[in-house]
Amino acid sequence: MSLLLSRRDLDFLLYEWLHVETLTKRTRFADHARETFDAALDAAEKIAREQFAPHNKKADQQEPWFDGEHVHLIPEQKVALDAFCAAGFMAAAQDAELGGMQLPHVLEQACHAYFFAANVATSAYVLLTIGNASAVLTHGTPEQIGAFAKPAFDGRFFGTMCLSEPQAGSSLADIRTRAETDGDSAFGPRYRLFGNKMWISAGEHEHAENIVHLVLAKIPGEDGKPIPGVKGISLFIVPKKLIHADGTVGERNDITLAGLNHKMGYRGTTNCLLNFGEGSFTPEGKAGAIGYRIGNAHQGLAYMFHMMNGARIGVGLGATMLGYTGYLHALEYARGRPQGRAATAKDPASAQINIIEHTDVRRMLLAQKSYVEGALALNLYCARLLDEEKTGDDEIARKHATLLLDILTPIAKSWPSQWCLAANDLAIQVHGGYGYTRDYNVEQFYRDNRLNPIHEGTHGIQALDLLGRKVVMQNGAALHALGDIIQHSIRNAATIAHVEVNAFAHELSTRLHTLFDVTKQLHGSGDVARTLANATVYLEAFGHIVMAWIWLEQATIAAQAMASATTEDAAFYHGKLQAARYFQRWELPKVDAQLALLAALDTTTLDMQNNWF
């Protein structure tokens, strides 16, 4: 039994649900077949298991440290990352002409799932790099791509995203890093950057030849002052070491590691405060970090959000896989730990049973299964949308995919961050006291996963994004696109020959209608503060309804596949149906209280006063 990810589940999601084989009919993926997809998954599983998983605990226990000049990391990380790059995973989804495998995104994400499950902290170095290089690829000039994205996809350079500052986290409008013009260059308009960037994951290390920072900064306006708000923000490529015009690596740029952040978990990823332009280095003879502007001035945030949206789905997948591996660890433990007897057992001298036989332990395992398998399905669905956005049959299909991605991104980020952390909590509980010790793995998963509701937009920020922007954008086009898709699933599930799935469809339909009504009520309040006051409750109810849909989809397929299934497959489908049943009966009803609260436009939190605390 794999402790990373159930391949049977992955095959179900990819081939029985998302029909990813059909992608091979598209020109971009014409060289692929199920065999090449499977080979990529096999390779990911093998490298994750053999190179990433073994040092997961060690990287936690031997936290990176900074001697004032160098950051020290355990050597196993670089070995693993080199294996990842050597196998071509850095460019898995990229064009063949860039040296990529030209795999669909959904397959790339399925491969990433293995690495996240094995070692989320080591994986972060390369997965951030992929996002970084993809942003350069999308918005950069050919010269920028050649100098900074290509070496990243080749595995030579790693990348970061530098948004936050000590005084500006969620409020990016308040960043102070400034970029002063410094002439032109082979890589576009050149600037000198000055400022401090906080929470920079993978911001310093020696795992790669160079680190390419993508940095948000403000170019002073005509009055010499930074333009207030997000409108003044531009995006810059700021490499740790300068690149010569011929692509070779040159002198150190003016970027200094001010310190490492010491975290509760996710410790294997260095997280840094970086000082730009403080004069510790004087590239080309003077202080100031040299950076190259990407695209137009003052449009940096929009460019960065290309990377950020991918990063948010990546955070969701990381959260999912921490939950998933925790679930498998708990399952293995529960199957092998004898303790106690059945509630009906009379003889105290009878043998103990394995704890998986206790209903409450099964509850905890079933809850985990419903959270982690559901979250993985949602993440892969989003990745499948990325492929549709890129290679969909026509403009309409591609725009439709973009709309769905827009509205599902806050869910794909926040739902796993909340519920797969809850899964990790349950995985500890299944282990009892042992789960609370560092001799087992689950306490680390719990600590690692606690980061996910915070970074790349906190839970509350996702809520404001969903309720304040996504459901109303383009006159509600994204909301209605999603509603239509869910309605389609409901109609389908309502007609199959399976009474329980039919009932599930009906129950989801009721909640979906209420959600639409509530959305209208909230935006009809005429008071933006009141509309947004309970955005987080809205996000959570919305997320549970989306997840119920994801489970309805899985249940529909499982119910239909059961008839002709082998014994082994039948057990698998029974498991899917039971997890769907759990979600229907135990989880979905939770939204009723939330929707009622929202419908009442409750002002309890809005009315609370500072001096009443």
CA gap 116, 48 in Å, rounded: 8
Quickly count: other Cβ atoms within 10 Å of residue 434's Cβ: 14
CB of 148 to its own copies, least distance (A): 27
Residue 566 touches its own copies, criterion: CB under 8 A:
no
Backbone angles phi, psi at 64, to 5 degrees: -55, 140
Answer left, alpha or beta for residue 453, where phi above 0 means left and psi between -120 and 50 means alpha. alpha
Residue 604 touches its own copies, criterion: CB under 8 A:
yes
The DSSP line for 265-311 is S-TTS-EEEEEESSSSS-GGGSSSEEEEEESSTT-HHHHHHHHHHHH
**DSSP secondary structure code for residue 534 in this structure:** T
Residue 468 touches its own copies, criterion: CB under 8 A:
yes
Residue 572 touches its own copies, criterion: CB under 8 A:
yes
Q: Which stretch binds its own copies (CB under 8 A): 186-194, 291-299, 308-316, 361-369?
A: 361-369
CB of 57 to its own copies, least distance (A): 12
- Residue of 417, 539, 547, 526 lying closest to 470 (CA atoms): 539
| Chosen residue from 71, 186, 297, 454 binding its own copies by CB under 8 A | 454
CA 67 vs. chain centroid, Å, equals: 32
Q: Which is nearer to its own copies, 210 or 417 (CB)?
A: 417
Q: Which stretch binds its own copies (CB under 8 A): 19-27, 72-80, 317-325, 532-540?
A: 532-540
* Interface positions, 299-358, toward its own copies (CB under 8 A): 331, 335, 338-344, 347-349, 352, 356-358
CB of 543 to its own copies, least distance (A): 16
Residue that the structure tokens 């970074």 belong to: 455
Residue 606 touches its own copies, criterion: CB under 8 A:
yes
Q: Which is nearer to its own copies, 61 or 280 (CB)?
A: 61
CA gap 32, 41 in Å, rounded: 13
CB of 357 to its own copies, least distance (A): 7
Residue that the structure tokens 């080591």 belong to: 122
Amino acid at 216: L
Quickly count: other Cβ atoms within 10 Å of residue 215's Cβ: 30
Residue 198 touches its own copies, criterion: CB under 8 A:
yes
Q: Which is nearer to its own copies, 280 or 359 (CB)?
A: 359
CB of 114 to its own copies, least distance (A): 20
| Chosen residue from 3, 71, 173, 496 binding its own copies by CB under 8 A | 173
CB of 379 to its own copies, least distance (A): 21
Residue 493, token pair as written in the block: 């599930």
Q: Which stretch binds its own copies (CB under 8 A): 37-45, 76-84, 501-509, 585-593?
A: 585-593
Residue 534 touches its own copies, criterion: CB under 8 A:
yes
**Beta strand ranges found along 171-248 (DSSP E):** 178-181, 190-201, 210-218, 233-239, 241-243
| Chosen residue from 28, 49, 390, 459 binding its own copies by CB under 8 A | 459
Quickly count: other Cβ atoms within 10 Å of residue 391's Cβ: 17
CA gap 491, 512 in Å, rounded: 13
Residue 359 touches its own copies, criterion: CB under 8 A:
yes
CA gap 422, 209 in Å, rounded: 39
CB of 61 to its own copies, least distance (A): 10
Residue 366 touches its own copies, criterion: CB under 8 A:
yes
Q: Which is nearer to its own copies, 407 or 421 (CB)?
A: 421
Residue 264 touches its own copies, criterion: CB under 8 A:
yes
| Chosen residue from 535, 541, 546, 557 binding its own copies by CB under 8 A | 535
CB of 540 to its own copies, least distance (A): 12
Q: Counting Cβ atoms within 10 Å, is residue 69 exposed (0-12), middle (13-18) or buried (19+)?
A: exposed
Q: Counting Cβ atoms within 10 Å, is residue 19 exposed (0-12), middle (13-18) or buried (19+)?
A: exposed
* Interface positions, 414-453, toward its own copies (CB under 8 A): 425, 428-429, 432-433, 435-439, 443, 446-447, 450-451, 453
| Chosen residue from 244, 262, 488, 513 binding its own copies by CB under 8 A | 262
456 carries an active-site annotation: yes
Q: Which residues pair with 217 in a beta bridge?
A: 234
Residue 95 touches its own copies, criterion: CB under 8 A:
no
503-516: buried (b, 16+ CB within 10 Å) or exposed (e) per residue?
A: ebbebbbebbebbe
CB of 581 to its own copies, least distance (A): 5
Q: Which is nearer to its own copies, 102 or 320 (CB)?
A: 320
Pick the catalytic residue: 108, 456, 553, 587?
A: 456
Residue 369 touches its own copies, criterion: CB under 8 A:
yes
Q: Counting Cβ atoms within 10 Å, is residue 156 exposed (0-12), middle (13-18) or buried (19+)?
A: middle
* Interface positions, 232-261, toward its own copies (CB under 8 A): 261
Per-residue mark of binding to its own copies, 265-304 (x: CB under 8 A): x---------------------------------------
Amino acid at 374: G
Number of residues that bind its own copies (CB under 8 A): 101
Alpha-carbon distances of 610 from 536, 537, 606, rounded to whole Å: 20, 21, 11
Question: Which residues carry out catalysis?
Answer: 456
